A and B are shown apart, each in its own frame.
Chain A
Amino acid sequence: MTDAAANLQGDGGLRWQEAAISAIVPQTPRIKSFFFELSRPFAFRAGQHVDVRLTAPDMYQAERSYSIASAPHSQQGLELVIERLDDGEVSPFFHDVAEVGDDIELRGPIGGHFVWEVADGGPLLLLGGGSGVVPLMSMIRDRASHHSRVPVVLLFSARTFDDVLFRDELLALDARGDGFNLALALTREPVRRADDYGRRVDTAMLTELLAKLPEPPKQVFVCGSNPFVEAAADATIAAGVAASLIRTERYGG
């Protein structure tokens, strides 16, 4: 068993800490990045998440889990990506109320399964739907910051070109020609790039994407809504990848 347990503090548990919002960056019309300065910095692995806790004046508390988008060792602070859900309780607070300088309670890192580090090697097949790309982004940034040439294909399914989170950064990484390959699957708009798809994920798409890797993937990470993860994982299995190589994380839970 190579998976380490969650980050254990001296007292044997994951402690809550105050983290100040250091920057807020709009990403798409509905998604913003929040950068946090931790009062007690922790090491983490790409793919892990943190729990965030908000406390009302009557001491009512709401908790949510958010994947970490930043690479381990990033100098810009811990980046969480929060999509505004109109009927939500926590995401409207972050979008409409939270400001730079506010202290937010969080704890982490959490999760020892949906994780990757450069030493794990590849090739990697990454399948992200919407904001499900966030933990995959941490892996991609970790790879880039280590100048790793591990072959990676990222399939990113989004409604439109403008809904592609981290689009400019991903296009720039794709243009490097260092073994990272981006394919977009746009579900509500025609494609703009030759290698992209104007439809939902399917087996034929996965067969083509797998052919872009120099050898079969060592691991497959799939993250998104449940319907996306079901479709993407089933298509990957139908395209010939063993189910045991596929790790999933589902949003909306």
Chain B
Amino acid sequence: MVTRGFTGRQRSPDIAKRLPPGQSLTDVFPVLSAGPTPHIRTEDWSFTLKVGPKPLARWDWAQFNALPQTKQTRDIHCVTKWSKLDTPWEGVLIDDILAAAGLDAPPSQFTLAHSFDGYSTNVPTADLVGGKAMIALRYEGKPLPPDHGGPARLLVPHLYFWKSAKWVSGLQFTERDEAGFWELRGYHIYGDPWREQRFTGD
């Protein structure tokens, strides 16, 4: 349905082809979260890899920073309709975390990311490996600020950004696809921006 009198902003074709449907470009970096920003000291920080309920490996801040570091510049897309292009991140690829834990292959098809504030989000394991995702420690060359998820957040840039869990404390491999915080509250179980999978049923 064409909306009477609406033309929309002038759009450059170069930018338009990088914006998924319904998204608009932002130059700032908006902050969204379900609760207050937790302030986690790096001396209290740790990252745990679990298979089901069983811990498999755990790193403290120094150990985690000693893992191979990778830089990635990616476009990101928030379900609240903003997209930001060419965002520069640095952190540890999930592939490198698995290798450091001595795993040749991921233990299961599904993963639940957990955060220090109780948040969780589910991502198919295939979307985390092959260089597609990292635990990001730095943004624009600087430590990740608390309101953007610091000390560390999951970065899965090809899915809506609620999947990139802030204040991440670990990854848990699960046998089944278990819905996380927003997925239990009506948001899409997968969340592909290019298929506009915002809500259950999209």
Chain A interface residues (CB < 8 Å from chain B): 1, 3-9, 11-14, 18, 51, 53-57, 59-65, 89, 93, 97-98, 102-105, 110-114, 222, 226, 230, 233-234, 236-237, 243-244, 246-248, 250, 252-253
Contacts and interface: CB of A to CB of B under 8 A. Distances in A.
A32 B166 CA distance: 34
Given A243-B36, A248-B33, A248-B35, A111 B3 contact: no
Interface stretch (B58-66, B74-82, B89-97, B126-134): B74-82
Nearest to B31: A226
Contacts of B195: none
Interface of B: 1-9, 11, 21-24, 28, 30-38, 78, 80-82, 117-118, 147, 181-182, 184-187, 198-202
A253 B186 contact: no
Given A56-B6, A63-B81, A64-B81, A248 B34 contact: yes
Contact of A253 (B1, B5, B31, B184): B31
A147 B34 CA distance: 29
Given A5-B184, A62-B22, A226-B147, A89 B201 contact: no
21 contacts: A1-B184, A3-B184, A5-B186, A13-B199, A13-B201, A14-B200, A54-B3, A56-B3, A56-B7, A56-B8, A59-B2, A65-B80, A89-B8, A103-B3, A105-B3, A113-B181, A113-B182, A234-B36, A237-B36, A252-B30, A253-B32
A7 B36 CA distance: 26
The interface residues of chain B, by DSSP majority, are classed as loop
- Which of B37, B118, B181, B182 has its CB near the most chain A CB atoms (within 10 A)? B37
Contact of B31 (A56, A104, A110, A250): A250
Contact of B9 (A64, A65, A89, A248): A89
Given A111-B186, A243-B35, A253-B80, A105 B1 contact: yes
Contact of B185 (A5, A51, A62, A233): A5
A89 B82 CA distance: 12
A250 B8 contact: no
Nearest to B184: A1
A127 B36 CA distance: 13
Nearest to B187: A6
Contacts of B82: 253
B200 A247 contact: no
Contact of B6 (A54, A226, A246): A54
A13 B202 contact: yes
A100 B121 CA distance: 41
A103 B117 CA distance: 42
B158 to A, nearest CB: 20
B8 A233 contact: no
Given A59-B2, A113-B182, A114-B34, 14 more contacts: A6-B187, A11-B201, A14-B199, A14-B200, A51-B198, A54-B8, A55-B6, A97-B4, A98-B5, A112-B186, A234-B36, A250-B31, A253-B30, A253-B31
Listed from nearest, the 6 A-B pairs whose CB atoms lie closest are A13-B201, A6-B186, A112-B185, A253-B30, A233-B36, A63-B22
A253 to B, nearest CB: 4
Contacts of B3: 54-56, 93, 102-105
Scoring A105, A114, A222, A230 by chain B CB atoms within 10 A of each residue's CB, the highest score goes to A230
A237 B35 CA distance: 11
A62 B181 CA distance: 27
B5 A93 contact: yes
A251 to B, nearest CB: 9
A62 B37 contact: no
B38 to A, nearest CB: 7
B186 A110 contact: yes
Contacts of A12: 200-201
Contacts of B200: 5-6, 8, 12-14
